[in-house]
Amino acid sequence: MKIDATNTHYRDLNRLIREAAHQSTRRLELHNVFGQRYIGTNLAARTRIDIFGTPGNDLGAFMDGPTIIVHGNAQDGCGNTMNDGRIVVEGRAGDITGLAARGGNIFIRDDVGYRAGIHMKQYDGKRPALVIGGAAQDFLGEYMAGGVIVVLGLTPRADKRHKASFIGTGMHGGVIFMRGPVNQRQLGEGVRIGQLDSKDRRLLARLVGEFAHLFDYDPQEIMTSDFVKLTPMSLRPYGGLYAH
Amino acid sequence: MKPRNETERLSNPYNDDKVMAACSIFGMMDISGKAVPGGDVIRAIANMHDRSNGLGGGFAVYGIYPEYADCYAFHVMYPNNETRSDVERYLIKSFAIVHSEEIPTQPAPHIQDPPLVWRYFLLVDSDQRGEQSEEEYVFDRVMTLNTSFPGALVFSSGRNMGVFKGVGYPEEIAHFFHLEDYKGYLWTAHGRFPTNTRGWWGGAHPFSILDWSVVHNGEISSYGTNRRYLEMFAYQCTMQTDTEVVAYAVDLLVRRHGLPIELAAKVFAPPLWKQIDYASQDERTLLTMLRQTYSSLLLNGPFSVIIARQGEMIGLTDRVRLRPLTAATKGDLLFLSSEESAIRLVCPDVETAWTPMGGEPIIGRLRESLPLPKENLEVAVA
Amino acid sequence: MTAPRSKEQPFHLQKAGKSIASPNEHRVPAPTPSVIAPRFAIIRDLERCIGCQVCVRQCSFGAQAYDSAEDEVYGIDANCVGCQRCVAFCPTSALTVTERPARYRQNFNWRSDVIDDIKRQAETGGVLLTGMGTDKPQPIYWDHLLLNASQVTNPSIDPLREPMELRTYLGRKPDRVDVSTDALRAEAYLPPQVMIETPILFSAMSYGAVSLNVHESLARAAADVGTLFNTGEGGLHRKLRHYGDSTIVQVASGRFGVDLDYLNLARIVEIKVGQGAKPGIGGHLPGHKVSADVSATRMIPVGTDALSPAPHHDIYSIEDLSQLIYALKEATNYAKPVSVKIAAVHNSAAIASGIVRAGADIIAIDGLRGATGAAPKVIRDNVGIPIELALASVDTRLRQEGIRNQVSIIAAGGIRNSADVVKAIALGADAVYIGTAALIALGCTVCQQCHTGRCAWGICTTDPFLSKRLNPEIGAQRLINLLRGWSLEIKEMLGGMGINALESLRGNRHHLRAVGLTEAEMDVLGVRVAGT
């Protein structure tokens, strides 16, 4: 089913989407999207939504199941507090991608902005994953409590080295895999750089495989590179701070 | 507390410390100098309608008065014709008035009780200004006008540029002022979300002094510090908005102290001391000296701004990037926007689109000087 | 608990004090006051007391004694000053030292301490001395100022995760930076700047007023944390000279220990013009506190009184101050900022303006509630004004004159916690000095007996036996802990206000609100009432 979003306010657009999902429409195409917010928010259906244009902020916020494919760039808050489902962006995304996500997968082909994966969490079998094909800016994985973030640095802009600072500040769970070297100075306090073990490599290979399939890369080539693993040193990074 | 003048009372009826405003900003510039009509900018800012609440909208346009290019174009708003007569008497005494007229407007939905808005094309006599530079003379006259005539406000005072603003959504303001009919090589636009329930026309953005204009999204938590420092240099902060201190600060640093805009950016959004410690010797000396001298001009709190002046458009975010800003280029066009979708609406096939790092300025200059900035993740000093 | 037993002689049998002598005659402090009832009661739980005599050994005021005939430990209330040393050290918590209730009939006007003071003067004919800061109910403006926090329109910042900067540079700042456009290199010469990692410095406390171990604790902590300590007017002991990089040396009216070496090893040179606890008068270190070591450091003979005159005798007018400032700059090759410390008095704003124009790089203002090792009580309690008002008026005046950037302002005088520090910065200070708080961290219980030199905690004494009670390693660690705790709290408060760099709070009175103050007070402070 096709919806032309020209001159349609996000309230109306989202209502149309929700109605379609309730009627068990399996595939939806949205055309001429320019900045409408909250697309796919709070949807629990197993629908696939293809977006042509630039969706607005909070794409897929609180989403619980659908698949969203953006044929273009996304803005801020992509996958905000997502519970389940999948978001694929054939381009870049803005700030706070995957904020507080607790399940589902987000694949961004190019770069992301600040605070990607901030406050991601995992619980009881649900483990969210955020895979970024290009570079991330500062505060990647801030406050992370669970889940997986992968940064591949494949775009020309990403260069040979990651340039983000304050990676993982406040991290107390989860793991970040980065392709290529990272300096300890770029990391928040309490974040440890380590090597991947076999379990890590299997997880990484699965995510890289999906990413490569989506965006037409060779997964083997990506996997031959060196990866580092970032994990928190403690579950209670600030335990020693307070006097009682 | 000191009695407030008329402007302060109007701009800030509840006598808040400052009027807070969160909003949408947009800018576009053709670096070849080609004048573009207002349609695209208006569509773009209208697209970000939900970021504002209809209590303020405005535009700054450069290159719109080629036939009066050497004149200072004063845009003035008045509550009534009596105030206008008073102000015009002052203008006649202080300047040579080449031309004056009411700014053409048309009724627009939801625009209620607009003030009278006039424009004057003025030249400065060398006798009148005496020892002062022309710009200092004009600056002083504007400060005097804005504090001496209750309800009157000079909201634009640069050459070959103009600010159009008021209470309403930006697209409504655009309609009110016939902005589709204007052409300029550089446009900035703003939609406001102030926390006062009553808006005042003068309180909308852009805020302007001489040919500087500033549109701003965010709130400056260092406002008290910035303002008290600027007051030492005779800048009267009457508008009680954050945007005012940004405009005055850039005027002080760039026009009066002669700093290049790249370094002004380093004053507003300096790298952290930890980062400065690791810079090269020269860079460290320079950055430390700037931060020590101008510590009271550090703009703290979330912000993204677009600062413009004749020939230049600058986008800047705070040093930990708490507000969004997307930059995009296509050919000779540079776009800056709170949201990428607004750019895509008016230019679907941009060549590059990126978000700058916190504190990293994006500078567009008319072609003679610098090429269009390319996206890069590094914090560069030169 | 059984009734307290006291073995001191009934007062009428004690020796009478000497008759009134002329002021120049050397006087011995009067024996324990004869007609004044003891202020403190030492209460001993006899069921808990094990007679270990720790209290006897610990008390330096002669308030605990051992009667070998009766084999029991007993207290001499008349000598007790309430320093709580014995209470802290008693292994069985058998002791309670408490102020005696209602020694006289309750009287709002003729309070107990007022009556005692008159009687003491009647017995001695002398100026009543005391130590530490005023204990009178002068208004504390910090407690009427409340801080802002950001919500909704501006995010508060989490200082544990997001960067938060407390680094400050003290020194004169120019009006502008001149930059050559092509090289983008700074061409200006900046006057000397001193970096501190937290806006808290240790206040001036002279060696002689405090022990060498105190100085060493302060020096080590300052070096560790990245801040500075102030030598006070007693010079800097040889042993501590290698802490020069963390030292502010003071040049006071007595010029004790001031030689070229002293001046050049320091980071900052401070001219002491006044002190908050005793504006307008000089300092007096009694001869019995001038030990061999103090004598060597101050370069005066052992046992003589170390007198600092009220004025510097080469500063009788503002231009003289300028002359001294530049003399010091010449002596140190213009490599160090010169600070001038004044007491907060009525025309502090005008004085400060003069000091800036005289060439000072830093102004330290010490308020009414500042402490001292020894001062006449009547001056300590009645002369000077609270630091909050002085600070606000100085900051406002310097801005009105367009010269605020030419000095850094350090505020002092009863800063008790990190909230006071934040409020001081918001009023306009660049940094604060802490004196009393630092000594409390070292063990002081503010018993106000510093002038006797018999500090049981080993702090305000030069007695080698007592001084040993403060271990500089432990002392330094306690001070480091204090600064660390306060710095973290400051970061939390800054973050709450949506600020991530200290300089954005300096003079930012918008983040303060007042409660329970008059219009006039709020006007001076430049702060609005809460709710507006």
Flag whether pLDDT at C266 surpasses 50. Answer: yes
Residue C87, phi-psi category: left (phi > 0), alpha (psi -120 to 50), beta (remainder): alpha
- Rg of chain B taking only CA atoms, in angstroms: 20
Lowest mean pLDDT among B366-380, C65-79, C368-382: B366-380
Contact (CB<8Å) A170/C488: no
Q: How many angstroms separate the CA atoms of B315 and B356, rounded?
A: 9
Chain-wide mean pLDDT for chain B?
88
Tens digits of residue pLDDT in B237-287: 877 788 889 999 999 999 999 999 999 999 999 999 999 999 999 899 999
pLDDT value at C60 more than 70: yes
Residue A172 CA to residue A150 CA, distance in Å, equals: 17
Q: What's domain A73-241's architecture?
A: 3 Solenoid (2.160)
* Higher-scoring residue by pLDDT: A64, C257: A64
In this prediction the ipTM stands at 0.90
Chain B contact probe: residue of C500, C502, C512, C529 with most B CBs at under 10 A: C500
- Does the structure show a pLDDT above 80 at C13? no
Going through B167-279 in order, the beta strands assigned E by DSSP cover 183-184, 186-194, 207-209, 212-218
Q: Which residues in chain C are closer than 8 Å to B231, comparing Cβ atoms?
A: 399
Q: What are the tokens at C186?
A: 């700074």
C265-296 burial string, b = 16+ CB within 10 Å, else e? Answer: bbbbbbbbbbbbbbbebbbbbbeebbbebbbe
Tokens read off for C254: 């007595």
| Overall size of chain B counted in residues | 382
Residue B1 located in a structural domain:
no
Where do the domains of chain A lie? 1-67, 73-241
Nearest residue on chain A to B378, judged by CA atoms? Answer: A163
The phi and psi torsions of C26 (rounded to 5 degrees) equal: -65, 125
Q: Give me the number of domains chain B comprises.
A: 1
Q: Is residue B374 part of a domain?
A: no
Q: How long is chain C? A: 532
User: Chain B residues with CB inside 8 Å of A73's CB?
Assistant: 340, 344, 353
Note the pLDDT of residue C10. Answer: 38
Q: How many CB atoms lie within 10 A of CB A44?
A: 15
Domain at B216, CATH number: 3.60.20.10
Q: What percent of chain C has pLDDT over 70?
A: 92
pLDDT at B370 over 80: no
Q: What pLDDT is attached to residue C21?
A: 36
Residues from A contacting C (CB-CB < 8 Å) are: 139, 142-143, 166, 169-170, 188, 238, 241, 243
**Range list of β-strands (E), A95-218:** 105-108, 129-132, 145-151, 173-179, 191-194
Active site residue B71: no
Q: In which domain, by residue range, is B55 found?
A: 6-365
Residue B149 lies in a domain: yes
pLDDT tens per residue, range C343-388: 999 989 999 999 999 999 999 999 999 999 999 999 999 999 999 9
- Please tell me the predicted confidence (pLDDT) of residue C305: 79
Q: Determine contact: C167 vs chain B, CB below 8 A.
A: yes
* Tens digit of each residue's pLDDT (9 = 90 or more) over C471-507: 999 999 999 999 999 999 999 999 999 999 999 999 9
Domains in chain C: ranges and CATH: 33-126 (3.30.70.20), 168-173+195-529 (3.20.20.70)
Q: What would the pLDDT profile of C155-178 be if each residue is shown by its tens digit?
A: 888 887 788 999 999 999 998 888
Distance CA C342, CA A128 (A): 62
Sign of CA dihedral B332, B336, B340, B345: negative
**Residue range B68-73: mean pLDDT, rounded:** 95
- Is B324 among the domain residues? yes
For residue B22, tell me if it sits in a domain.
yes
Q: Is C82 in contact with C29 (CB distance < 8 Å)?
A: no
Q: Do the strands C375-376 and C129-130 form a parallel or antiparallel pair, or are they unpaired? A: antiparallel
At residue A234, the pLDDT reads 78
Amino acid type, B162: G
Q: Quote the pLDDT of residue C155.
A: 81
**B and C: number of Cβ contacts within 8 A:** 131
What pLDDT was estimated at residue C152?
77
Q: Is residue B380 part of a domain?
A: no
